[in-house]
Amino acid sequence: MERNQQSRRKFLKQNVLGGLGATLAPAVLGGSAAFAATTTPAILGGESAWNESRWPKWPRWVPETDEKKLLEVVRSGVWSRAGVVTEFEKEWAQTLGAKRCLTVVNGTNSLVVALNQLGIQAGDEVIVPPYTFIATITAVLSNNAIPVFVDIDPLTYQMDPAKIEAKITSRTKAILPVHILGMPADMKRIMQVAKKHNLVVIEDACQAHLAEISNQKVGTFGHAGCFSFQNSKNLPIGEGGAIVSNDDKFMDKCFSYTNLGTPYGTAVGAISTGSIMQGTKLRFSEYQAAIGLALLKRLDEETTLRNQNAEYLKSMIKDIPGIVPYKLYDDVTRCAFHLFGFRFKEKEFKGLSRAAFLAALRAETIPCSSGYVSLNTQPFLAETFASDTYKKIYSAKELDIKLYNERNHCPENLSLVNEAVWFTQNMMLARREDMEMIASAIKKIYDNADKIKAAAKI
Ligand SMILES: *Cc1c(COP(=O)(O)O)cnc(C)c1O
């Protein structure tokens, strides 16, 4: 009893006060990774798995190799879109095997623009998965369309192609699959459904740089592929995004739309061309492109390492009771592993709660997160449906949020959001022995689950 109370006090001190609710422990740690051969979990007062931690920092910046072009750009004074942006676009298109690439300010707007230049507008429905970052959905709403949620495949976490057809109506215009966690969605089957129903496909590949299906890069299966270069992403530029496609006409329109409606190829400042369509301004800048070109040089090598580490880690934890790692579709040849995901099954893990499991992992200095919360039931949808704009477009019945929620109920997604655990992509750039460290920490927590449960009461 006495000991239990002490442990509980320690648990609360370390985790509740220290921010049990925080989504991620500091991802940037340094020092030696010598494994502490203690059998007592850190959360119960044992030594943490790492006496000093050292997850790779993100983003990575190596002055000797990364700075030359950036400094040239900064010193040149040509900062608005010019030759370096074009060079980056060519490189990114070539890297993916796409005909064209257009950079924009961020991944969110790459989706907004791809949708509207493919004709998605007020009155249309777009099929989306519920297990994604909010930007996927707001891109649909930004075009005054309605997102229709298709539940996920519980093993791969991706939009379940078998459930798409039941959601298609006369208003459906597009399918917007997301390669979530950097693992490819089932693009072959999704494209079959799209073809059969004459739908446009826009891939949200914002987490999936260099991921592949049958050796073809994701983002190149649909009519358009959208990427993000936000700081956390596998190709980080702070902010940034790109649209890729093989459709010249569409890409010309995207250029015009994001450059105040000027004809394709118009240089910055060349106002004499006039504008051929309504547009806005979402341009990338030269110094962003210079950073992108520098980091792109490492992306392939980093992606290989993430794949090796993720597979190794998966092989070590898959047989621990209550730990069910991600599964890939059979034709996946490479993953981006923006996140390493698995399900935590409380019952099989001796009844330890996921919150207590995450706290115990963090105590071992292993950063982790429970990932997304349920997206399709968040207030932003009801708020949008209650807007004057939506009331002008849709009938009261179409905007009845209760009916909408019933139609968009996604039970598999609810189960996943309650069970998911994530590690971030930079952790997959650590050493092989660091993967062993994660696995042994999870085993240690499992072995002591009863004691942790008693101490934690969560
Ligand atoms: C990051 C992300 C986006 C948005 O990209 P930003 O560059 O942050 O605007 C869209 N979809 C998914 C799945 C993402 O992870």
Instruction: Tell me how long the chain is.
Output: 458
pLDDT tens per residue, range 347-385: 999 999 999 999 999 999 999 999 999 998 899 999 999
Establish whether residue 133 lines the binding site of ligand 1, counting it when its CB lies within 6 angstroms of any ligand atom.
yes
pLDDT at 376: 85
User: What tens digit of pLDDT does each residue of 56-68 get?
Assistant: 999 999 999 999 9
Mean pLDDT for the chain?
A: 91
Q: Does domain 24-59+299-371+417-456 have CATH number 3.90.1150.10?
A: yes
Question: Does the beta carbon of 228 lie inside 6 Å of ligand 1?
Answer: yes
- Please say whether the beta carbons of 411 and 377 come within 8 A: no
Give yes or no for residue 21 having a pLDDT over 70.
no
Nearest partner of 340 among 318, 319, 316, 313, judged by Cα: 313
pLDDT tens track for 156-208:
999 999 999 999 999 999 999 999 999 999 999 999 999 999 999 999 999 99
Per-residue pLDDT at 4: 45
pLDDT at 235 over 80: yes
Nearest-CA residue for atom 7 of ligand 1: 107
Share of the chain above pLDDT 90, in %: 86
Q: Which class is domain 63-295?
A: alpha beta
- Preceding omega of 321 cis (within 30 degrees of 0): no
Predicted pLDDT at 457? 66
**What percent of the chain stands above pLDDT 70?**
90
The mean pLDDT value for 81-88 works out to: 98
Q: Which two tokens stand for residue 25?
A: 């422990």
Express each pLDDT in 133-154 by its tens digit.
999 999 999 999 999 999 999 9
pLDDT digits (tens, 9 = 90+) for 264-319: 999 998 888 899 999 999 999 999 999 999 999 999 999 999 999 999 999 999 99
CA–centroid distance, residue 217 to ligand 1 (Å): 18
- What's the average model confidence in pLDDT over 235-244? 98
- CA of 106, closest atom in ligand 1: 7
The structural domains of the chain, with segments of one domain joined by +, span: 24-59+299-371+417-456, 63-295
In this prediction the pTM is 0.91
Residue 202 near ligand 1, beta carbon < 6 Å: no
Indicate whether 22 pLDDT > 70: no
Ligand 1: which atom is nearest the Cα of residue 240?
Answer: 7
CA of 227 to the centre of ligand 1 (A): 7
Mutate to test the pocket of ligand 1, among 207, 226, 239 (most ligand atoms within 8 A of CB): 207
> Quick check: 78 pLDDT over 90?
yes
Indicate whether residue 203 lines ligand 1 (CB < 6 A). no
SS3 letters for the chain? CHHHHHHHHHHHHHHHCCCCCCCCCCCCCCCCCCECCCCCCHHHCCCCCECCCCCCCCCCCCHHHHCHHHHHHHHHCCCCCCHHHHHHHHHHHHHHCCCEEEEECCHHHHHHHHHHHCCCCCCCEEEECCCCCHHHHHHHHHCCCEEEECCECCCCCCECHHHCHHHCCCCEEEECCECHHHCCCCHHHHHHHHHHCCCEEEEECCCCCCCEECCEECCCCCCEEEEECCCCCCCCCCCCEEEEECCHHHHHHHHHHHECCCCCCCCCCCHHHCCCCCCCECCCCHHHHHHHHHHHHHHHHHHHHHHHHHHHHHHHHCCCCCEEECCCCCCEEECCCCEEEEEECCCCCCCCCHHHHHHHHHHCCCCCECCCCCCCCCHHHHHHHCCHHHHHHCCCCCCCHHHHHHHCCCHHHHHHHHHEEEEEHHHHHCCHHHHHHHHHHHHHHHHCHHHHHHHHCC
For the record, the structure tokens of 150 come out as 């298709």
pLDDT for residue 346: 98
Contact 415, 154 (CB under 8 A): yes
